[in-house]
């Protein structure tokens, strides 16, 4: 091998190492680079108790693994032991591997709130025990869970029978997959939609499964989402709130937690926890259940939803949405009122002060005399377009009013503008467009008497153009080398920085904000809000002045079509400070976004690369009679131009009706790339990047696999004698019995168990082969050394004996070399096949774990997503593990089989990116068996 030939593997290792490093950097950004946990822990003041509810015998027999509990604490738990319930029923549904005890945060805070109102109203929190099933990875039990929840609802409502204020419906809180199960209730034939009037989901992946590992999971999603789309009008009386966790939740990205747009009606709302008022914090997948700030918002909403007449949750969908918007979208810093009075009397012997200036500040400390500050609007309407006011007094009383057509600086009756205000972490603010309020003659700011409180009021009139700045974002491929910068010499209280061309999920930026002030006096902190207008996913940061603050700007949801609104950076500033805003593309966060949105599809790209490599090995076997090494063949044959253009052509042709009709007549499924490209125009480029990432992972997984085999074989040789490999027929009665036994295991217990058993059997045989090859190579090198020594010592003998000995040695060495060469070729082929099936086994493991966990309830996994797959895979592997390259070469189908992996690789990416379970389909691999 020349210098160039030796340099190629080193360059390939360096290139694929760089690709693998990029993948790791993206994974690191998703798993570790996010804001600190700003949630407070919820605590119980009394010992929590879970009272098991007795279910009907038929239900208990049908669902032996599931249970229903009632949450309680202290005296409340003792009073409810007889199940004489008088409260409002709420049912909590845990998610993937979730515990029924996760209800305690909701139940405990609701109990404290009920104590505050002397139990005039209270809630009874029930919780379902799903046996901590892995329903996010195995969809076979989702339908069973849904039917059990239906039975639980009927049992719960029977507990209130003949009560004075008996409920007719149940509110549901579902965490993770529990929220999806709650939505699936409406797909049951015998379920009455009126049994649920409120559904709150926490970090529930509504749009699609996080990992589509079996068809039961994807079919369940399709049925639920289609039902909610088709029956949207029938579901308008059900109010649904979906709360996502934000970037801290790396298990369920927030884009999946938004209810599908086509199914949204007037009674559906989706928010990210970072945008929820009084929480303003991202949560991870588990902390969303106990985050005190979020739980408080939920419980406050529950109590505001109560109808005083029925003492149950109101049946009015409009009121339910008003309450949820009040607590989860825009909080006006006031206690919720269903119908606030249109006009308010401004009473009290307070001093009235007229303010004619366009900018006003008033500091209050121990002011015993209340005041009304009036701002005449007539003199400002021509010069200014907006008025903005803020107060650092965060109480819930009204503080700003509008006088209607009053010529006097005093008005006794005014409209309460406080409902238009918005609560922020350190202040409450209001901004009014003067053109929208032509009937107002004055703005009145109320300063109540205060003792011991210190706060500040600010108001200013301004033109919108003077406070709006456009900042074009840097290009995605600038890699942080260029930046956009603006300098705000602040003379006002609010600036809106519009982030132009920021609308794609792959865009990610770091925004640095430097604040500097002219004087060193104490100031209120600045508030920076990244506002995304097309979804409730704002993030808010509070910063001291002066300071240097870094904000990560990235999206959970791309900008919808026909939506021209622009994301904004709202800076709630101090008037004598200036702010420098610098925006740069963050390469690490771009990689993180790619991983966040597409990491689940990487197994499809990895398997596609391995299939291309396997096809290359078969081709070299045809042309040279030798099987090439996995890593070298991967470098030579795993090229994206072999796969991606074919898929792009199919996607393009599907735009024509004639091709689509032919496609459908062949009963072929929709190409995943067509769906993904319709959602995002950047996907073809992202797919190319993912293919390269898959190549890098496949390369280093092959290196790891080969290194592991060498270590195991060395350990084997150090501890025991090498095994003697006996050449046998491809199919023997013993192997046939083994295959039938594994097929029986698959049919009667769990298909994944049979797959794992035959995989381990194959792995053991490959290790034995590796040990045998290494032992033979060691023996041959030792024999060669001894032969040379013998030949040197025999020079004293006759020439005839010397030539005879030499010929015998050469013949023996030639025979040994050919045997070892064949074994090495077979080993290379088996390593590739084993590497391929390793990924298939990993995708089957969730159903095996589920089966092992539920073994005490049933020996047979039903339904089993890989039962038939396992039967065929066991037969395939039984044949492959006992084949050799000499048998492959002698096959007449070798040339055909060498061409099969390419279309299989294309099919893998065409149909497996959104449906990973298709990688387990044996029909994909069957043609490559010789």
Residue 209 DSSP label: -
Cα–Cα distance list, 476 to 394, 480, 493, 507, 590 (Å): 41, 9, 32, 6, 8
Strand bridging mode 526-531 / 268-272: unpaired
Copy the structure tokens of residue 635: 């470098």
Copy the structure tokens of residue 464: 């919108």
Query: HSE on the CB side for 547, CA within 13 Å?
Result: 16
Strand bridging mode 468-472 / 539-543: unpaired
241-252 burial code (b ≥16 CB/10 A, e <16): bbbbbbbbbbeb
For residues 172 and 199, is the Cβ–Cβ distance under 8 A?
yes
For residues 870 and 746, is the Cβ–Cβ distance under 8 A?
yes
Helix and strand totals (H; E) in the chain: 26, 30
Q: What is the CA radius of gyration of the chain?
A: 35
Cα–Cα distance list, 554 to 115, 536, 655, 848 (Å): 42, 14, 32, 37
Q: How far apart are CA 271 and CA 611, in angstroms?
A: 42
Q: Is 451 helix (H, G, I), strand (E, B) or coil?
A: coil
Q: How far apart are CA 629 and CA 135, in angstroms?
A: 40
For residues 919 and 836, is the Cβ–Cβ distance under 8 A?
no
459-478 burial code (b ≥16 CB/10 A, e <16): bbbbeeeebebebebbebee
For residues 101 and 175, is the Cβ–Cβ distance under 8 A?
no
- The secondary element (H helix, E strand) that includes residue 510 is strand 508-517
CA 343 to chain centre: 47
Give all strands of the β-sheet with 239-244 in edge-to-edge order: 48-52, 67-73, 123-129, 88-93, 170-175, 196-202, 239-244, 268-272
Q: Is 531 helix (H, G, I), strand (E, B) or coil?
A: strand
Q: What are phi and psi of 723, to 5 degrees?
A: -75, 160
Catalytic residue of the set 176, 273, 552, 574: 176
Burial bucket for residue 632 (CB in 10 Å: 0-12, 13-18, 19+) = middle
Cα–Cα distance list, 392 to 395, 438, 621 (Å): 9, 28, 78
Q: Please confirm, yes or no, whether 273 is among the known catalytic residues.
A: no
605-617 burial code (b ≥16 CB/10 A, e <16): bbbbbbbbbbbbb
Residue 667 DSSP label: T
For residues 698 and 613, is the Cβ–Cβ distance under 8 A?
yes
Strand bridging mode 494-500 / 468-472: parallel
- The secondary element (H helix, E strand) that includes residue 128 is strand 123-129
Query: HSE on the CB side for 884, CA within 13 Å?
Result: 15
Cα–Cα distance list, 524 to 361, 457, 462, 492 (Å): 13, 11, 21, 14
- Nearest CA among 467, 442, 431, 430 for reference residue 380: 442
Residue 55 DSSP label: P
**E runs forming strands in 366-423:** 371-376, 386-391, 400-404, 413-416, 422-423
Q: What are phi and psi of 657, to 5 degrees?
A: -60, -40
Q: How far apart are CA 258 and CA 873, in angstroms?
A: 38
Q: Which residues pair with 580 in a beta bridge?
A: 487, 514
Number of neighbours of residue 179 by Cβ within 10 angstroms: 27
Active site residues: 176
């Amino acid at each position: 091998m020349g210098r160039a030939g030796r340099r190629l593997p080193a360059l390939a290792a360096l290139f694929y190492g760089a690709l693998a490093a990029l993948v790791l950097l993206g994974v690191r950004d998703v798993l570790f680079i996010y804001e600190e946990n700003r949630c407070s822990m919820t605590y119980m003041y009394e010992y929590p108790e879970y009272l098991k509810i007795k279910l009907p015998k038929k239900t208990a027999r049908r669902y032996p693994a599931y249970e229903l509990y009632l949450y309680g604490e202290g005296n409340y738990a003792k009073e409810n032991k007889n199940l004489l319930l008088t409260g409002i029923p709420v049912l909590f549904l845990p998610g993937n591997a979730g515990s029924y005890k996760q209800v305690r945060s909701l139940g405990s805070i609701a109990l404290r709130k009920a104590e505050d109102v002397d139990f005039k109203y209270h809630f009874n929190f029930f919780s379902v025990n799903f046996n901590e099933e892995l329903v996010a990875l195995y969809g076979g039990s989702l339908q069973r869970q849904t039917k059990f929840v239906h039975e639980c609802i009927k049992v719960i409502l029977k507990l209130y029978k003949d009560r004075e204020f008996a409920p007719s419906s149940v509110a549901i809180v579902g965490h993770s997959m529990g929220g999806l199960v709650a939505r699936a209730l409406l797909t049951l034939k015998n379920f009455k939609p009126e049994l649920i009037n409120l559904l709150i989901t926490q970090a529930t992946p509504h749009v699609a499964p996080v990992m589509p590992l079996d068809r039961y999971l994807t079919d369940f999603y399709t049925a639920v989402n289609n039902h909610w789309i088709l029956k949207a009008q029938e579901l308008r009386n059900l109010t649904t709130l979906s709360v996502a966790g934000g970037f801290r939740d790396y298990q369920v990205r927030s884009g999946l937690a938004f209810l599908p747009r086509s199914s949204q009606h007037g009674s559906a709302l989706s928010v990210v926890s970072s945008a929820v008022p009084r929480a303003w914090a991202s949560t991870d997948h588990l902390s969303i259940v106990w985050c005190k700030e979020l739980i408080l918002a939920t419980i406050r909403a529950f109590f505001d939803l109560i109808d005083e007449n029925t003492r149950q949750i109101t049946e009015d969908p409009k009121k339910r949405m008003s309450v949820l918007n009040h607590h989860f979208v825009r909080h006006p810093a006031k206690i919720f009122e269903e119908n606030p009075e249109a006009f308010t009397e401004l009473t009290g012997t307070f001093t009235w002060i007229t303010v004619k200036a366009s900018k006003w500040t008033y500091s209050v400390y121990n002011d015993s005399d209340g005041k009304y500050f009036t701002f005449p609007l007539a003199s400002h309407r021509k010069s200014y377009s907006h008025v903005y006011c803020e107060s650092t007094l965060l109480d819930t009383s009204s503080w700003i009013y509008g006088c209607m057509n009053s010529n006097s600086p005093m008005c006794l009756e005014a409209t309460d503008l406080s409902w238009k205000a918005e609560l922020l972490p350190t202040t409450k603010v209001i901004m009014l467009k003067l053109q929208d309020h032509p009937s107002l003659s004055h703005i009145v700011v109320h300063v109540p008497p205060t003792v011991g409180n210190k706060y500040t009021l600010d108001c200013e009139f301004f033109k919108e153009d003077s406070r709006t700045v456009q900042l074009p974002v840097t290009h995605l491929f600038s890699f942080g080398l260029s930046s956009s910068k603006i300098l705000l010499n602040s003379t006002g209280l609010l600036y809106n920085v519009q982030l132009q061309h920021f609308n794609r999920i792959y865009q990610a930026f770091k925004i640095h904000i430097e604040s500097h002030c002219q004087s060193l006096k104490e100031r209120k902190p600045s508030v920076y809000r990244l506002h995304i207008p097309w979804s409730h996913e704002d993030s808010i940061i509070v910063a001291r002045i002066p300071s240097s603050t870094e904000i990560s700007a990235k999206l959970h949801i791309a900008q919808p079509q026909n939506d021209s609104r622009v994301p904004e950076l709202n800076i709630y500033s101090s008037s004598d400070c200036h702010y420098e805003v610098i925006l740069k593309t963050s390469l690490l966060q771009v990689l993180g976004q790619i991983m966040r949105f597409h990491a689940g599809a990487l197994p499809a790209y990895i398997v596609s690369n391995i299939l291309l490599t396997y096809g290359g090995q078969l081709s070299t076997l045809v042309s040279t009679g030798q099987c090439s090494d996995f890593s070298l063949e991967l470098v030579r044959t795993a090229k994206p131009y072999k796969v991606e253009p074919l898929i792009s052509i199919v996607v393009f042709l599907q735009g024509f009706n004639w091709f689509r009709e032919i496609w459908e007549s062949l009963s072929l499924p929709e190409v995943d790339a067509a769906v993904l490209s319709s959602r995002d125009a950047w996907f073809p480029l992202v797919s190319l990047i993912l293919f390269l990432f898959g190549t890098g992972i496949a390369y280093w997984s092959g290196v790891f696999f080969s290194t592991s085999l060498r270590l195991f074989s060395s350990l084997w040789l150090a501890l025991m004698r090498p095994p003697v490999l006996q050449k046998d027929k491809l199919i023997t009665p013993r192997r046939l019995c083994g295959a039938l036994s594994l097929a029986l295991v698959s049919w009667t217990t769990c298909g994944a168990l049979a797959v794992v058993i035959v995989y381990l059997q194959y792995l053991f045989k490959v290790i034995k082969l590796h040990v045998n090859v290494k032992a033979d190579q060691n023996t041959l090198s030792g024999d060669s050394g001894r032969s040379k020594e013998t030949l040197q010592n025999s020079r004293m003998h006759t020439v005839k004996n010397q030539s005879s000995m030499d010929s015998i040695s050469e013949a023996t060495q030639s025979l040994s070399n050919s045997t070892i060469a064949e074994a090495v070729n077979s080993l290379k082929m088996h390593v590739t096949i084993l590497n391929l099936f390793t990924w298939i086994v990993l995708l089957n493991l969730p159903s095996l774990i589920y089966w092992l966990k539920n073994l005490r309830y049933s020996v047979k996994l039903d339904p089993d997503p890989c039962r038939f797959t396992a039967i065929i895979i066991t037969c395939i592997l039984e044949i492959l593990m006992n084949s050799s390259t000499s048998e492959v070469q002698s096959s007449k189908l070798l040339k055909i089989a060498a061409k099969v992996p390419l279309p299989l690789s294309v099919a893998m990416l065409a149909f497996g990116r959104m449906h990973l379970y298709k990688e387990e389909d044996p029909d994909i691999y069957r043609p490559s068996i010789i």
